């Protein structure tokens, strides 16, 4: 497999503008002749569908929910980054670029990240134009707050509901195009296969989640914007519908999967409360602006927090990282929370929690100010835990929140399969080995509003695509294969539920591929996943009918994909014998327990190629070349 990033030559600052100029164009009259399938209606998919339709393409837009506005982007809380420099603290496009590259531990493409930083200011302007109500200062300028990994305030926000407000802005644009006929909307569809004709992606096979019907849809190009795969861990902060199936189908049809071991552990999540939970709840990183993280100095101290005096508290992030304090990147904050708990200094009934304390901020600014900033987050915490964070510190612990790995794409956002594009959280593109807070929303909107509309035109303008519709044999074959897979699942009639097996998979992933990984543990994980996958196909019980609404079947075929994907994730972690960002190999750490990269052997993207059923996948590499940034050991001290 050839991995050509298609990054243009020349100075970093001018690459994207020059590349846009050089791209071949599709004239307005010809755009009406092209159909494009966009899978997903979150910030990346929804913005892409609306923008492509506005340009004149006919767009078929698919979502798994009953409404586009229920996409998981709605759950994002804290904010979106841009280098407007409204606070006057010296921010710039280059600063945003550098912080993002460094935050990702130098494991992302320079050119992609710089383009992201360039587009960020235009994203804010565009979102304001679509009605997004960003918070404002008294004088009228947009308010900014700080997020991890930066020493400037560049995060735009709408209280703790930024994702919701951004998605409503996108949804308004999408609804307009649906009304005009430019977008044909297909809700409650699960994309389960990609159809390839003459080497190019020409359509999808989906399951109608209401009727159970298998459907085929054709187009001139296919765009995946289906989000990340963090639910392979079962417990995560993602929505229950989030899955890897569309990207996994693309992988099996020739689209390489990049860096699957790059998973993000968010340091501020509500702790696990029991075996009955099906998901976890995020507490926004923005809370670390005013909340102070601490544990008791003494091991096994079970006193209530108000009974522990200041001189017996360890504000460990402030102590270890005085320059950044509580606003270190997520991977650093998470590992330090785990370390404190492993030392026996964790709090709460399980000892797997640390305090996030707002006492000082409330005393300094008053409860009304804190309520105005974080009121909905405090209310959410109170409802879930029955503890009032205005009166007692929050108890938090790291949890799976995001993934930096995903489908490999080039500078055009096209995969290794011609005509198949991938956007936002579903691709691997911009965040390296650790995503900085408030940059996922930035990437989704950059890809959908400001990158894909140019690059997909460059693809369509240079192709001679033969007419293809759903009567083509490739669609018939794909439908047949999917029906056989579903029937096989329905006919096992074993004794274990889908959720029971998924929980076991999640524990394997968390125990061996979580915040800390090692050679022996990863080899154990691979063996356990293989055994669990074999048991799944012999002993799972999928009830109901495949010809009707059946959520057990939905979870069943998604778990079948996770049981294959989980092994790939563990293999990727095993072969990347270094620590970088969220991928922490215990064998590769500094004397101060920080991630220690191996730039000589692993300064590359690992892109996995499907080799066929029952065969080991092939590991391909794309070297990462740094022309503007010097590779150094990350330090936030």
Whether 128 and 86 have beta carbons less than 8 Å apart is answered as no
**Distance from C-alpha of 142 to C-alpha of 138, rounded to nearest angstrom:** 9
Helix orientation angle between 473-490 and 551-575, rounded to the nearest 10 degrees:
100
Whether 536 and 555 have beta carbons less than 8 Å apart is answered as no
Question: What would the two tokens of residue 433 be?
Answer: 């080995």
* Sign, CA torsion 464/470/471/476: positive
Element (H, E) at 22: helix 15-22
Closest CA to 233 of 514, 584, 523: 514
Catalytic residue status for 176: no
Q: Which residues pair with 618 in a beta bridge?
A: 609
Which residues neighbour 464 within 8 Å (Cβ) at sequence distance 6 or greater? none
Q: Which residues pair with 294 in a beta bridge?
A: 355
Burial per residue of 323-350, b for 16 or more beta-carbon CB atoms within 10 angstroms, e otherwise: ebbbbbbbbbbbbbbbebbeeebbbbee
Half-sphere exposure of 156 (CA within 13 A, CB side): 27
Q: Of 330, 435, 576, 597, which one is the catalytic site residue? A: 330
Nearest 5 degrees, angle CA 219-CA 223-CA 227?
A: 145
**Distance from C-alpha of 278 to C-alpha of 236, rounded to nearest angstrom:** 8
Nearest 5 degrees, angle CA 440-CA 160-CA 339?
A: 70
**Distance from C-alpha of 395 to C-alpha of 385, rounded to nearest angstrom:** 9
Element (H, E) at 485: helix 473-490
SS3 583: strand
Which residues neighbour 75 within 8 Å (Cβ) at sequence distance 6 or greater? 163, 164, 237, 238, 239, 282
**Distance from C-alpha of 332 to C-alpha of 395, rounded to nearest angstrom:** 18
**Distance from C-alpha of 382 to C-alpha of 247, rounded to nearest angstrom:** 37
Nearest 5 degrees, angle CA 621-CA 624-CA 627?
A: 160
**Distance from C-alpha of 394 to C-alpha of 387, rounded to nearest angstrom:** 8
Closest CA to 426 of 441, 411, 444: 444
Whether 257 and 456 have beta carbons less than 8 Å apart is answered as no
Backbone angles phi, psi at 130, to 5 degrees: -90, 5
CA 456 to chain centre: 22
> What would you measure as the largest C-alpha separation in the chain, in angstroms?
74
**Distance from C-alpha of 381 to C-alpha of 328, rounded to nearest angstrom:** 23
Element (H, E) at 265: strand 263-270
Which residues neighbour 49 within 8 Å (Cβ) at sequence distance 6 or greater? 38, 41, 59, 61, 174, 177, 183, 448
Q: Catalytic amino acids? A: 330
């Amino acid at each position: 497999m050839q991995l050509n990033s298609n990054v243009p030559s020349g100075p970093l600052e001018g690459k994207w503008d020059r590349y846009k100029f050089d791209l071949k164009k599709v004239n307005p009259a010809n755009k009406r002749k092209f159909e494009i399938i966009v899978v997903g209606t979150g910030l990346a998919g929804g913005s892409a569908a609306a923008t492509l339709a506005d340009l004149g393409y006919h767009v078929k837009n698919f979502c798994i929910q009953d409404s586009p506005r229920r996409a998981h982007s709605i759950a994002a809380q804290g904010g979106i980054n841009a280098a407007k420099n409204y606070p006057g603290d010296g921010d710039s496009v280059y600063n945003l670029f550098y912080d993002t590259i460094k935050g990702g531990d130098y494991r992302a493409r320079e050119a992609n990240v710089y383009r992201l930083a360039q587009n960020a200011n235009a994203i804010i302007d565009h979102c304001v134009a679509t009605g997004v109500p960003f918070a404002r200062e008294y004088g009228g300028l947009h308010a900014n707050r700080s997020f991890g990994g930066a020493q400037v305030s560049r995060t735009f926000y709408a209280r703790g509901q930024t994702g919701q407000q951004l998605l409503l802005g996108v949804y308004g644009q999408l609804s307009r195009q649906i009304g005009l006929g430019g977008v044909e909307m297909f809700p409650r569809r699960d994309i389960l296969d990609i159809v390839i004709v003459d080497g190019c992606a020409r359509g999808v096979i989906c399951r109608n989640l209401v009727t159970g019907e298998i459907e085929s849809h054709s187009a001139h190009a296919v765009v995946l914007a289906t989000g990340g795969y963090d639910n392979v861990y079962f417990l995560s902060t993602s929505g229950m519908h989030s899955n890897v199936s569309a990207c996994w189908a693309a992988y099996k049809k020739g689209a390489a999967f990049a860096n699957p071991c790059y998973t993000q552990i968010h340091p501020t999540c509500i702790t696990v409360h029991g075996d009955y939970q099906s998901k976890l709840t995020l507490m926004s990183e923005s809370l670390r602006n005013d909340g102070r993280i601490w544990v008791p100095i003494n091991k096994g101290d079970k006193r209530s927090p108000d009974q522990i005096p200041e001189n017996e508290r360890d504000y460990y992030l402030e102590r270890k990282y005085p320059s950044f304090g509580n606003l270190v990147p997520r991977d650093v904050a998470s590992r330090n929370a785990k370390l404190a708990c492993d030392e026996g200094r964790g709090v709460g009934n399980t000892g797997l929690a640390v305090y996030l304390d707002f006492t000082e901020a409330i005393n300094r600014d008053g409860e009304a100010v804190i309520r105005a900033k974080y009121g909905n987050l405090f209310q959410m915490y109170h409802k879930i835990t029955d503890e009032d964070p205005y009166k007692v510190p929050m108890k938090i612990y790291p949890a799976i929140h995001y993934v930096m790995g995903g489908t490999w794409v080039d500078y055009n956002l096209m995969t290794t399969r011609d005509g198949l594009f991938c956007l936002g959280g579903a691709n691997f593109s911009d965040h390296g080995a650790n995503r900085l807070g408030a940059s996922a929303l930035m990437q989704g909107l950059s890809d959908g509003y400001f990158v894909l509309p140019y690059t997909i035109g460059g693809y369509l303008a240079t192709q001679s695509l033969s007419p293809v519709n759903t009567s083509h044999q490739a669609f018939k074959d794909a439908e047949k294969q999917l029906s056989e897979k579903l029937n096989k699942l329905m006919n096992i009639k074993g004794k274990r539920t889908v959720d029971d097996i998924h929980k076991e998979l999640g524990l394997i992933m968390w125990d061996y591929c979580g915040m800390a990984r090692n050679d022996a543990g990863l080899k154990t994980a691979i063996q356990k996943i293989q055994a669990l996958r074999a048991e799944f196909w012999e002993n799972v019980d999928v009830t109901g009918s495949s010809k009707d609404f059946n959520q057990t079947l939905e979870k069943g075929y998604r778990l079948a994909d996770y049981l294959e994907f989980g092994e790939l994730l563990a293999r990727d972690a095993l072969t990347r014998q270094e620590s970088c960002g969220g991928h922490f190999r215990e064998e590769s750490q500094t004397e101060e327990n920080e991630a220690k990269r191996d730039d000589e052997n692993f300064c590359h993207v690992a892109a996995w190629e499907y080799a066929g059923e029952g065969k080991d996948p092939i590991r391909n590499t794309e070297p990462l070349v740094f022309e503007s940034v010097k590779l150094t050991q990350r330090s936030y001290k």
